[in-house]
């Protein structure tokens, strides 16, 4: 036996080619796994398609200007509507206020007219009552004068013997006395207010006689008579006959009825209260 037969060899044993192939395959798989892990994850593919609107040749600035103008016009229209409504509300409020004011004024006027009518009716009633008492006294006086001891002759003192009116004179006197209590208003001709010549003209119209409107022309009518020979219905005047400034109607018993002034209105007064300048007779 050789002296080297029991010395183990230091050479590695050969590996078979199959083992080397297996190891190479394993190593390649590991390296592939590491490479896949180290690489970034791939995104999932997009499966949904979004269609974008296709822009044609449109003037975008013109469209924007039109939109702005339409918005401004709408805003202006809304402002005009609001202003119109405000004006309508203001007009309605003013109309309601004016209607209430007119209603209040109408009610106050109606109340004043009612009171004035009541006062007028009361004054007329009092005037008729006074006229009735005056007529009674005049009748009694005339009857007493007719029975005097001188054979029934009556005296003529300021026309007292002619105090009982008849015919046309009675119509004139009765109308004049019926207006006692009415107001005096310059230029008025009735039916509830008079001036002096307006009352005389209306009284004579009851007898079918048309007189001029003004006092100067009225006192120029007929014939002049003495104040001591008056009879009911004669026209009394103050001032000159052709230029008188006031007229009245003699009603008998030494009294006259006339529209005197704004303070007294239509009254019956004695000749002694305001002696006239003269008288004319038309009947």
Segments making up each domain of the chain, as ranges: 159-281
Please classify residue 152 by burial: count the beta carbons closer than 10 Å to its beta carbon, then call 0-12 exposed, 13-18 middle and 19+ buried.
exposed
Q: Which residues have a Cβ under 8 Å from the Cβ of 19 and sit 6 or more positions away? A: none
Q: What is the pTM of this model?
A: 0.46
Region of poorest pLDDT, from 84-88, 128-132, 135-139? 135-139
Class of domain 159-281: alpha beta
pLDDT recorded at residue 27:
57
DSSP annotation of 5 reads T
Output helix, strand, coil percentages for the chain, rounded to the nearest 5: 50, 15, 35
Nearest by Cα to 138 from 109, 110, 114, 161: 161
Looking at residues 211-235, what average pLDDT do you find?
96
**For the stretch 96-114, what's the b/e string if a residue is b when 16 or more beta carbons lie within 10 angstroms of its beta carbon?**
eeeeeeeeeeeeeeeeeee
Q: Is the pLDDT of residue 229 over 70?
A: yes
Q: Which residues have a Cβ under 8 Å from the Cβ of 183 and sit 6 or more positions away? A: 192, 193, 194, 262, 265, 266
d(CA 198, CA 183): 12
Region of poorest pLDDT, from 40-44, 188-192, 202-206? 40-44
Tokens standing for residue 134: 């005056």
Q: Give how far Cα 212 sits from Cα of 98, 193, 201, 221, Å.
A: 46, 18, 7, 9
């Amino acid at each position: 036996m050789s002296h080297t037969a029991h010395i183990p060899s230091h050479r590695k044993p050969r590996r078979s080619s199959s083992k080397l192939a297996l190891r190479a395959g394993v190593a390649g798989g590991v390296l592939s796994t590491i490479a896949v892990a180290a690489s970034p994850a791939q995104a999932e593919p997009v499966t949904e398609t979004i269609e974008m609107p296709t822009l044609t040749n449109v003037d975008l600035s013109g469209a924007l200007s039109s939109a702005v103008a339409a918005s401004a016009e709408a805003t202006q229209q809304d402002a005009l509507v609001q202003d119109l409504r405000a004006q309508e509300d203001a007009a309605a409020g003013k109309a309601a206020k004016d209607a209430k004011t007119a209603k209040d004024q109408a009610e106050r006027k109606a109340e004043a007219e009612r009171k004035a009518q009541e006062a007028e009716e009361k004054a007329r009633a009092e005037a008729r009552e006074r006229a009735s008492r005056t007529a009674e006294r005049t009748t009694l006086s005339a009857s007493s004068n007719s029975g005097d001891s001188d054979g029934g002759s009556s005296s003529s003192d300021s026309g007292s013997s002619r105090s009982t009116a008849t015919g046309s004179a009675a119509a004139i006197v009765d109308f004049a006395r019926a207006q006692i209590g009415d107001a005096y208003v310059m230029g008025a001709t009735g039916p509830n207010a008079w001036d002096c010549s307006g009352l005389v003209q209306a009284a004579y119209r009851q007898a079918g006689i048309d007189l001029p409107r003004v006092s100067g022309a009225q006192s120029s009518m007929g014939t002049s008579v003495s104040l001591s020979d008056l009879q009911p219905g004669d026209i009394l005047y103050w001032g000159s006959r052709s230029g008188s400034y006031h007229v009245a109607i003699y009603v008998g018993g030494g009294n006259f009825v006339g529209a005197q002034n704004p303070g007294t209105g239509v009254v019956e007064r004695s000749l002694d209260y305001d002696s006239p300048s003269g008288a004319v007779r038309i009947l």
